[in-house]
Amino acid sequence: MNIQQLVDRGLKIKTYTKDSVIYEPGTQPRYVYFIKTGEVRMVTVSDEGKEFIQGVFKAGQHFGEPALLINRPYLAFTITNKDTQLIAVNKEDFFSLIKNEPDFSMNLIQTLSQRLFYKSMMLEELANEKADHRLLTIINYLLHDITEGENLKVTRQELADMTGLRVETVIRGVKMLAGKGLIKTVKGKIVKR
């Protein structure tokens, strides 16, 4: 099931401007959201206002399934990183997609597996490893998605919010890793080689 097919079925496209909140923790899930264009981040926020990035979702992907499927209030905020167009698919329709479209079902299982894999990896890091190790792991993970010579389009703040560290610690850590030759940086940007 892709976006076009959903549109063909007559589902409405909703437009959100950058930094709009799509849903908040504590609220009851009613939809699964398919992204037509744009990008969203899923973040949990501590009492002191510190953000942790649970995931980032781009055009063609969907988010918000787990809470809907197990019927639990959301844990996280979902916020647009750019102007974004979404299609909200209600519970009934989403369940019928799973039941009636074997490909969609298989695909969803693999998507959930990928996310579990990432979260397991990060849990090990946050539970057991110190700053430099965490940083190297997330950086290598992110480098997978880009091609040689390109650089990572993430700020130190974002790395901090993915690793549970503070910006200053990330800045010092990245510098250290570059010094040891474990990563390559050009003008502060982390580059794949």
For a copy of itself, the binding residues (CB under 8 A) are 44-46, 48, 50, 52, 54, 65-67, 69-70, 72, 75-76, 98-99, 102, 105-106, 108-110, 112-117, 119-124, 126-129, 163-164
The encoded tokens of residue 101 equal: 């479209």
Q: Which is nearer to a copy of itself, 74 or 152 (CB)?
A: 74
Centre a 10 Å sphere on the Cβ of residue 85 and count the other Cβ atoms it contains.
16
The single-letter DSSP state of residue 36 is E
CA dist., res. 3 & res. 89, Å (int): 11
75 binds, among a copy of itself, DNA, none (CB under 5 to 8 A by kind): a copy of itself
CA dist., res. 54 & res. 164, Å (int): 11
CA dist., res. 149 & res. 7, Å (int): 38
157 binds, among DNA, a copy of itself, none (CB under 5 to 8 A by kind): DNA
CA dist., res. 26 & res. 109, Å (int): 25
The residues that touch DNA, with contacts defined as CB under 7 A, are 48, 50, 130-132, 155-157, 164-169, 171-172, 174-175, 187-189
Q: Considering the complex, what minimum distance in angstroms separates the CB of residue 46 from DNA?
A: 9
Amino acid (one-letter) located at 191: V
Nearest to 125 by CA among 165, 75, 155, 76: 165
Q: Considering the complex, what minimum distance in angstroms separates the CB of residue 134 from a copy of itself?
A: 10
Q: Considering the complex, what minimum distance in angstroms separates the CB of residue 83 from DNA?
A: 12
Q: Considering the complex, what minimum distance in angstroms separates the CB of residue 156 from a copy of itself?
A: 16
128 binds, among a copy of itself, DNA, none (CB under 5 to 8 A by kind): a copy of itself
- Where does residue 78 rank: exposed (0-12), middle (13-18), buried (19+ CB within 10 A)? buried
Q: Which is nearer to DNA, 64 or 173 (CB)?
A: 173
